[in-house]
Structures are given as structure tokens and as C-alpha cells.
Structure 1
């Protein structure tokens, strides 16, 4: 008893007891916190990995439907338009259309496409399997065709559960086909003259779902816009327990993107990714236990680490001195500052021991992190510029095709003067567009560029298009970002002037503004837009959202978004595009930019 009292009252025992008290409890706490954080990290990383797989699957499906959708370009071919529009085609005409279908197949290798068929509004059609045929029923009895007649710019993706017997135009039953449908429009009037139907074997979608798995028993399936399963993996019903219909409906509507389902059996992690082309949702489902299985191994590792740390700390506590703890405390404080984002919190190491080396390594690490961050920022900025330059360099094939077509018929008509003027304008347009790879040109060149574009378009739309260009002379030498006006003018023409009756007028002006800025304005007297669409467009521009991300159809949104994005990237977030519009009266687009160019 006396011996125990003597030991407990000694300084060494007190230091040992205090050290154990101050070391063991923190180590246990660190172990628990580390386990919890590791668990959360593994859980979140596993979920993120599963979602990434779903997004990749959605991209694969998107690529499949986009690639297959190239066959819809058949509906724009002159031979197809002639066949669907004419009522007295010969056998040779039909044969040419079939050859055209075969040519597309040979070019793109559509092995999963079962059939291609077309039909006009009078029931006369052609398909790969049957050739020319005549329906004894009105094609518009098919609700899908009726929908396309009223929404001619829409592409329908009809899965097998939604198939209509009238979808099989040539009479051949295809119970396992996804029908891709689109309207065929007359080139000049854009009037619907028929429909094109591509039957895609649904086995290719099922293979996507079957070949991609999560964990050991997780799987993917596809639901439509209403939350109805349309493709499920080839497993027994006992293995597949889908969520309640209310939850599927919420996933389809986008109100939920992921959640843990505990309603049926063991908990399951359910998540979704969307296919923009079809509107379908790819749903992933995996038992939650498989998601967090790695956390169990981490728990064992942490327990062993904590026990060994306690033993090691008790063994070495006699050798720890204040001379060692002070630089460690300093290093810890610097690390906390660095973790909060202050990368200048370097250590001033003293001595030649390991702690000094650690401080020096910490300083080197901070320098490398700062260098990598700066390098990453530069690379991201250059990448963005490269993407924008690539976007600028793209030439609209439809515009070029239509312009060359206009040159051809003018030349055939002997209108030499107009041909010369059109070719000169086209040459000027492309020369300024390229600008030897420069991003900046003078305002005079920018106006010359849009003037060339308007000359070309006025020759094509001479009955509906007039324009006026006014610019303050002293602004013409001001540097400006290339191709700001042309996308706005193109929107004004195609989404404003062409959609109204009578002649349309586009006014382009450039004038100085306060604060060393200038104001570029494009005004048209087209059909304009209502207050709801205007607010939606303004919101998209303010938050830099593309129109299809909001589910809204906003005329000209992509061109305006591109100009807005380029202005903010090159000039700064305080500059951009302002849109004003009144339905039936026209639209005004105003751009404020500094006259000095980019800083």
C-alpha cells in the first residue's frame, strides 16, 4: 500500500498519468472522428462513382440516338422531298429513294436499325422492307403523326410500351422496336408533307442496361417521362424490386435526383441521370451495403492504428520535450492557415532535425500547390478561349449551302451583277471571320462583316428584309471582339422578321456611352416575344444557362448565350447583353462594351 502511494505521488507517475490521459482520449476521439469522416468520404465517393457510371451510360445512349438520328437527314434530301410531295412518281423515283436509304446505311453502318420508312399525308409511303405502298387509312389517325403535324420541329422517341399499331407503316410487326419519328417539311414553305420513321432494335438499349453494373448486385433500368419503366435488365422479378411508383414519378419529373429507399427490404441507393435527346431517365439501383463496404475495412484499419498509436505514444512520452513541441505547434498552426486557403503561411525552420525538414517540405508543398493552382487557372482560361475560338471558326453549313445555291440560280438566270455582288460579300464575310486567327478587330470591320451578311440575306429575302446601319465615325477605329453583331442579326432575321407578315426592318447602331463605353444595338420590328419568354431569356442570360437546360423554348437563346458568354469572358462580368421585346412589335438587343478593348 505504501509502495503504491509512493509511486502514485512521484512526478514520473503523475507525468505518465497525465500523458496517458491527454494522449489516449484524443487518440480514441481522433479514431472515431477519422472513422466517421472516412465513412462519409467513402460513402460520398461511392455515390459519386455510381452517378458517374449512370451519366456515362446516359452519354452512351445519347450518342446512340444522336448517331441514329442522322438518318432523319434523309427527310431533307431533294429526292425524298420530291417523292413525298409528288403524286405520280415512277418506279425509278422509288428506286432512287431506296438506293439513298441503302447509301446512308452503308456510310454509317446502322446495324441496329431494323427499318426505315416514310409516308406522305395521303398515305403513300416507302420502306426498306416493303418498297412503295399505299395505306388504306389516313396517316393522321396515328396520334404520333398528329402530334408531329402540330410540332414539326420535334423528334419523337417511342419505346415499345408506347408503340401504336399504326406506327408500323408497312404492316410488319416490330414488338421490340424503338421508333424515332420526325416530320418532313417542304424546303421553302416549311409545310409538313410527310413523316419519317426509323425503327431501332431495343436490344441495343437492353444491352447497355445489362452490361453495366454497380457493385455486385446493382443494376440500371430506364423510365420514361411519366416514371414508367420501359427497359429493365434481364433478371428475375425476385432479383428486381423497383421503387414505389410515386418515387419513380418524382425521379422522372426531376424533383429527386437520388435518395436512399428503405421501403422495401434492405436499404438501396437509387440515383438518376437524364437523356436530353429522349427525355428518358437512366435509373441506377444498388444495395446501400455495397456502397459502404469499403468503410468496414477502413474501420478495422483505424482501430489498429489507434491502438498502435497509443502504445507508441506511451513508449515515447519520456523522450518528448518542450523543445520539440514548440516547432510542432508552430507547424500545426501554419497548416491550419494553409487549409483555410492562406498559402503564404510558410514556416521559418530552425535547426537541422526532422522537424526542420518537415517545415521545409511543408514550404515546398505550399509553393507547388500555389504554382499548380495558378497553372490550372491559366489552363482553364486558355481552354475556354480555345473552345470559343473553335466555336467562332465554325461555318454554318446551311447558310453556306443556301448562299451557294442562290449564286447558282442567279448565274443560271444570267444575273451577273448580282452574282458578283453576292460572291464579293461572301468573300468579305469569310475573310473578316477568319481575320488571320485574331480575336479582336475594329468596329469598322465588325460592321463591314455584318453588312456583308445582310447583303447576302437581303438577296435571299428581298421581299421581307430591309436594314439600316448607323455608327458614330469616331467609334469605327475602336477595337471590339469579333463576331458580336452577326449572331444577333441572324437571330433577328430568323426568329423575328421571318415570323411576321410583310417587310421587316433591322436597325444596327453604334454610339458612345458613359464611362468610356460604347453601345451596340440591333433592333428589329419582327414578331417579338411575350413577357414570360422575355423573362425566361433574361434569366438564362443572367445565369449563363442554355435554353434546353431550363426546358423552355426561347427563340434565339443559343446565339445570345454565346455572345453573352464571350463578352463576359473577354470584357468582364459587368458587361453583357440586354434584351427588350414586345410581342408583335419587335425586339431590341443592346450590348455595352468598353471602347478600350480587353484590359
Structure 2
């Protein structure tokens, strides 16, 4: 019997991962290209519309920025006007007394100054000043002015720096025998010498100046761009025939009122795209209208080009498949390591991935997120520092007028007594004190300068309080090399005098000591004044206490120290009613020594 040898069944060849990736990409990309070729024509309109929406939104953002720039410039010009020395001096003189001739001369002086300020500012239609006696001054070229300042006198009452924008209204004056639609800025006008209110300034911008801000912005060939108010009335349009007309009856009004990103609508048998952007500063809405047929006119050409490009991409992708399989995980590893660095607090890292796929997009968004986070953190710190410096400026503003007035009063008293040498000494002390306060605007000074400024402050007050005040400084000389925050000690000393020693019977004493312990500067200001109970000390550092004179300087000093050096440093108060108060300031030596201006 013959036996026939049977061969073993052959095993199917297994594909490698590399081959699987190539086959997968070939099949997937082929299907994608076929699907794109079929559906591209259908979806290209949507793509064009989306791109037009994005482009239009960018244009609307540009218009918004242009409007902001114009309104910011208007506010800056208003500040320049109210700080003009000619105007300041003229209105101060007008508040002292008046007669018809002087009024006329002052009117001409102020008008010339305002005209000079408005000259060359194309968007400034008029500048008007209303003083406290309801006299009206203007920049010239207008007449028939109606006084509209009364509501703003009431509105700004009790506010040191009142400012408000009034929406588009007919002007309260005539230029070339007609009224114009204007937007007006109203700002409180104070004396730079006394801080007293001198009047209200009005700066008006007419509608053509507004429409010029977007005159060069194009939405295709026939698209329109205009601005509507909260009531749906067109307040700015390149074509003046549309001004003051309402769009409430237009089919796109609901799209705008609901603040949708971009929607199409049907009007007169044609489809249009409506895109809007709220302009919160004036409660306006910027509107863009574009015909759909203009958006999609190049759709067929784009479809053919897109299909050809897709097939080229398939061939290119198949050629790069081996490299893709090898390097597919490399970007993910880079992202993982970078994320770990961010988790450790390093916000200076950057993902240098320049691919255009999802990983590349993720890297771009990640970099933006890290950059935005870092920027927000830095901005928060800078804003907090700025806020503290403004509080310091407020303290200086409290020091300057009253302290200078009292010192000048003391100088007058010495002059009556014929004590010329004491007058010279007092004036030198006063000059040295204010030289230290100003310090070229820098918040950082040497500890030696801070102590010298505090000593001069006390020497000046000794003249006023005569035998009721004495002081003693006992400071480690090694502390003088370090730098510290300006006006750190003066508010503490001032608080000791005015709230501790002023009402005390007998002689008041202040002792200022300074020493270095464990790389920290310990500065103590101690008085034998009235003292204060524990609940008063607690209220000084409470977040809910009001900005009264007794607490403002101490709390502000404590917050400034913590802001610059950390929460472990600051101000500590110990007091016994009837016996006195000890205020201790703790500062780091190393950090203070490295502070730069």
C-alpha cells in the first residue's frame, strides 16, 4: 500500500506592527480622501462660513480695540486739560471773586487753553468746563451750550476722582448751526493745590469720529459693519443715511440680541451671515453683515484643490509611515516630562513641538496655558504691589498737607519770637524730611535713610510739642547697610504721637531700638502714652475694620511687609492701657539687602 506524504498546514504570516501601521494608514487615508472628495462640496460652505465668522470676529475685536484706543486717548486728554496750570490758576482765581471784565478775561484765557488742547485732536468735537459758580468755558467754535453738569456734580459728590461716559445723545451745543450725535466724557475737576473741586469737564466725540475708527475695516466686497445701541438703534454707520434707524424689525436682530457667535439668516430672498460683538464700555454692539454668496463663491475651486492636496498627502504619509511608527511616542514623552516640571512649580518651561497634529495643537495650548498662568501670577503680584504703593501714596497725601501746615505754623511762631537760628534748623529738617519722602519716586531706600527721615520727622514735631516730647534711638550700626521699604517707621511714630502721647499729661517719650537676631532685623517703637485695650489691637488688623487714621498706617505697614517679604514678617503690637504701646517690626536682613530700586 502506497502512502502519500501529506504536507503540514502552512501558518499564516503575521504582520509586524510596522506593516500594520502602514496598512492602517493606507486604508484609513484612502477612505478619508474618498469621504472628503464626496462630502467636501457639501461642507465647504460651512467651512467658509466658519472662517468668515472667525475673520469677522477678529475684525470686530480690532474695531473694539480702536474704539478703546480712542476713548483712552480722550480720557488722557481730559486729564491733561484738568492738570493744565493756566486753567487751574484761572478757575481758582474765579472762585475767589468776580466782576464782568475779569469774567470775560478768564473766559478768553480758558478758551485759548482748551482750544490749544483740542487743536489737532481730530476726534475731539468740543471741550467744555463748568465751574462751581455755573460759569461755562469752551474750546471755541460752538455756541448755544446747555448746562448738563448738575447730575454729574451730584454723582461725583464725595468722590475725589469722578469720571463717567455718557452714551450717544444729541449734543448740548451747536457747531455750524446744528446739533451732532456725540459721546461725552464727564470728569471731576479738582484743584491740584488744595484738592477742592473746581468744576466738571466735558469732552465730546461726534459720530463721524467713531465711524472713522473702522472705516478701513472690510468685510468682503459688499459686507457692512456698524454699531447699534442697547435699544437697537444704529448709532454709528459709514453711511449716514442709516443713522438713528432701528434694526428691531430686521431678521438678524434676534441673533444680535442673543449675542450668538455667528448665524445665517434670510432677507429679501438672500442668505446673509450676521456676526456681533458686545462693546461693554459703552453698552454697544458691533455688528457685521456679510452675504453668503460672497463667502462661498470660490467653493468649487477650493474643493478641487483640496482633493488634489489630499491625494498628495496620502502618498506623502505612506512614505513617512516608517518614521511615524518610530517617533510616534517621542512627543508624548516630552509632554510628560514637561508636565512634571510644571507640577514642581517651574513655569518657565516651553514645549518645543512644532507638529501640526493634535499633539502639536496640545503643545501650543499647553504653552499658552503656562504662559497665561505665569502672566496672571506676575500680574497679580504687580497689582498687589501697585495697590500697596497707592496706599503708601495715600499715607503720604495725609502727611503732606497737615504736617506741612503745622510745621509752617511752628515756623511762624518762631519768627514772632525772633528765633532765627531755630527757624533755619527747622526749615532744613523739613527739607530733609520731604527729600526722603520723595526719594525720586522709589519705594526702596536704605535703612540709614529711613532712620534719618524718622529722626527729622521727630525733630520737627519736637518744635511743635516743645517739652511734651522726647525720643531716643538705639540701633545696631550693622543694620544701616540694609535696604528697606520707604515710610516704614514714620506711620508707626506718627501713630504713637497722635494717638498715644498727644493727650497724655506730662512728658511723652518714644524709644526706637533696632537689633539683628537670627538674620532678622527687629525694630521696636515704644511709647509711654495712653495705650490701648486688646480689642482695639485686634480691630487694627481685622479685614473688616474701616480705614480710620488710627488703624490705616499700622495695617498698611504690616501688609506691605508681608507682600514684599512673606507672611512670617510684619508688625506686632503690645500695649497696656494707661502705660504705653510697643510696636515691633520684623524684617529679613538677607532679602532686604538685595532689594533693588
- TM bin, normalised by shorter chain, reads 0.5 to 0.7
User: SS in structure 2 opposite 1:77?
Assistant: helix
Tell me how far apart the structure 2 counterparts of residues 483 and 282 of structure 1 sit (CA, whole Å): 45
Question: 2:118 aligned with 1:114, yes or no?
Answer: no
The answer (yes or no) to whether the contact 1:54–1:283 under 8 Å persists in 2 is no
The answer (yes or no) to whether the contact 1:117–1:125 under 8 Å persists in 2 is yes
Rg: which structure is higher?
2
Consecutive unaligned residues in structure 1, runs of 5 or more: 1-8, 251-257, 346-357, 359-365, 539-554, 581-588
Q: CA RMSD in A?
A: 7.1
Tell me how far apart the structure 1 counterparts of residues 545 and 291 of structure 2 sit (CA, whole Å): 43
Q: 2:215 aligns with which of 208, 211, 214?
A: 211
The answer (yes or no) to whether the contact 1:114–1:199 under 8 Å persists in 2 is yes
Correspondence for 2:235: 231
Correspondence for 1:181: 186
Pairs within 5 Å for 1:181-330: 181-184=186-189, 192=197, 195-203=199-207, 205-211=209-215, 213=217, 215-216=219-220, 217=223, 219=225, 221=227, 223=229, 231-235=235-239, 236=242, 259-260=260-261, 262=263, 266=272, 268-275=274-281, 280-281=282-283, 283-286=285-288, 303-311=307-315, 325=322, 329-330=325-326
Tell me how far apart the structure 2 counterparts of residues 519 and 299 of structure 1 sit (CA, whole Å): 77
The answer (yes or no) to whether the contact 1:338–1:344 under 8 Å persists in 2 is no
C-alpha deviation, 1:154, in angstroms: 1.1
Q: 2:429 aligns with which of 417, 421, 433?
A: 421
Tell me how far apart the structure 1 counterparts of residues 141 and 431 of structure 2 sit (CA, whole Å): 46
User: SS in structure 2 opposite 1:596?
Assistant: helix
- Measured against aligned partners, the alpha-carbon deviations of 1:462-519 in whole angstroms (never above 9, x if no partner) come to 89xx9999998359717765445469959x99xxx9xxxx99x9x9989899986568
Q: Scaled by the length of structure 1, what TM-score is found?
A: 0.53
Tell me how far apart the structure 1 counterparts of residues 106 and 487 of structure 2 sit (CA, whole Å): 43
Correspondence for 2:447: 443
What is the total number of aligned residue pairs between the two structures?
477
- Relative distance call for 1:485 and 1:208 in structure 2 (3 A) is farther
- Measured against aligned partners, the alpha-carbon deviations of 1:107-136 in whole angstroms (never above 9, x if no partner) come to 563653435343434x4555566999999x
- Relative distance call for 1:186 and 1:116 in structure 2 (3 A) is same
Correspondence for 2:591: 597
The answer (yes or no) to whether the contact 1:513–1:519 under 8 Å persists in 2 is yes
The answer (yes or no) to whether the contact 2:111–2:140 under 8 Å persists in 1 is no
Question: 2:141 aligned with 1:145, yes or no?
Answer: no
C-alpha deviation, 1:448, in angstroms: 3.6
C-alpha deviation, 1:102, in angstroms: 0.8
C-alpha deviation, 1:308, in angstroms: 1.7
Pairs within 5 Å for 1:536-555: none
Correspondence for 1:349: none
The answer (yes or no) to whether the contact 1:442–1:478 under 8 Å persists in 2 is yes
Pairs within 5 Å for 1:465-544: 473-474=475-476, 477=479, 482-485=484-487, 489=491, 534=543
The answer (yes or no) to whether the contact 2:476–2:515 under 8 Å persists in 1 is no
Q: 1:71 aligns with which of 52, 71, 81?
A: 81
User: SS in structure 2 opposite 1:269?
Assistant: strand
Tell me how far apart the structure 2 counterparts of residues 147 and 189 of structure 1 sit (CA, whole Å): 21
Tell me how far apart the structure 1 counterparts of residues 212 and 545 of structure 2 sit (CA, whole Å): 36
Tell me how far apart the structure 2 counterparts of residues 508 and 209 of structure 1 sit (CA, whole Å): 63
C-alpha deviation, 1:208, in angstroms: 4.0
Tell me how far apart the structure 1 counterparts of residues 290 and 552 of structure 2 sit (CA, whole Å): 45
- Measured against aligned partners, the alpha-carbon deviations of 1:188-243 in whole angstroms (never above 9, x if no partner) come to 87555x633435241454234442536333535375xx777683223435999697
- Relative distance call for 1:520 and 1:53 in structure 2 (3 A) is farther
Tell me how far apart the structure 2 counterparts of residues 15 and 131 of structure 1 sit (CA, whole Å): 83
Tell me how far apart the structure 2 counterparts of residues 301 and 469 of structure 1 sit (CA, whole Å): 88
- Measured against aligned partners, the alpha-carbon deviations of 1:223-264 in whole angstroms (never above 9, x if no partner) come to 5xx77768322343599969769976x9xxxxxxx7425496
Tell me how far apart the structure 2 counterparts of residues 330 and 592 of structure 1 sit (CA, whole Å): 60
Consecutive unaligned residues in structure 2, runs of 5 or more: 1-10, 37-42, 267-271, 342-353, 355-362, 416-422, 574-582
Correspondence for 2:91: 80
Tell me how far apart the structure 2 counterparts of residues 13 and 114 of structure 1 sit (CA, whole Å): 82
- Measured against aligned partners, the alpha-carbon deviations of 1:53-87 in whole angstroms (never above 9, x if no partner) come to 5234312321123213422335971321221342x
- Relative distance call for 1:13 and 1:106 in structure 2 (3 A) is closer
The answer (yes or no) to whether the contact 2:445–2:484 under 8 Å persists in 1 is yes
Tell me how far apart the structure 2 counterparts of residues 177 and 15 of structure 1 sit (CA, whole Å): 71
User: SS in structure 2 opposite 1:260?
Assistant: coil
- Measured against aligned partners, the alpha-carbon deviations of 1:536-578 in whole angstroms (never above 9, x if no partner) come to 999xxxxxxxxxxxxxxxx999x979x86x975x657x67889
- Judge which range, 24-33 or 227-236, deviates more: 24-33
Correspondence for 1:547: none
User: SS in structure 2 opposite 1:213?
Assistant: coil
- Relative distance call for 1:143 and 1:107 in structure 2 (3 A) is closer
- Relative distance call for 1:162 and 1:238 in structure 2 (3 A) is closer
The answer (yes or no) to whether the contact 1:178–1:201 under 8 Å persists in 2 is yes
Tell me how far apart the structure 1 counterparts of residues 102 and 409 of structure 2 sit (CA, whole Å): 26
The answer (yes or no) to whether the contact 2:170–2:179 under 8 Å persists in 1 is no
- Relative distance call for 1:126 and 1:26 in structure 2 (3 A) is same
- Judge which range, 141-150 or 93-102, deviates more: 141-150
- Relative distance call for 1:469 and 1:96 in structure 2 (3 A) is farther
Tell me how far apart the structure 2 counterparts of residues 185 and 420 of structure 1 sit (CA, whole Å): 31
- Relative distance call for 1:95 and 1:191 in structure 2 (3 A) is same
The answer (yes or no) to whether the contact 2:475–2:515 under 8 Å persists in 1 is no
Correspondence for 1:335: 331
Correspondence for 2:4: none
The answer (yes or no) to whether the contact 1:442–1:476 under 8 Å persists in 2 is no
User: SS in structure 1 opposite 2:276?
Assistant: strand
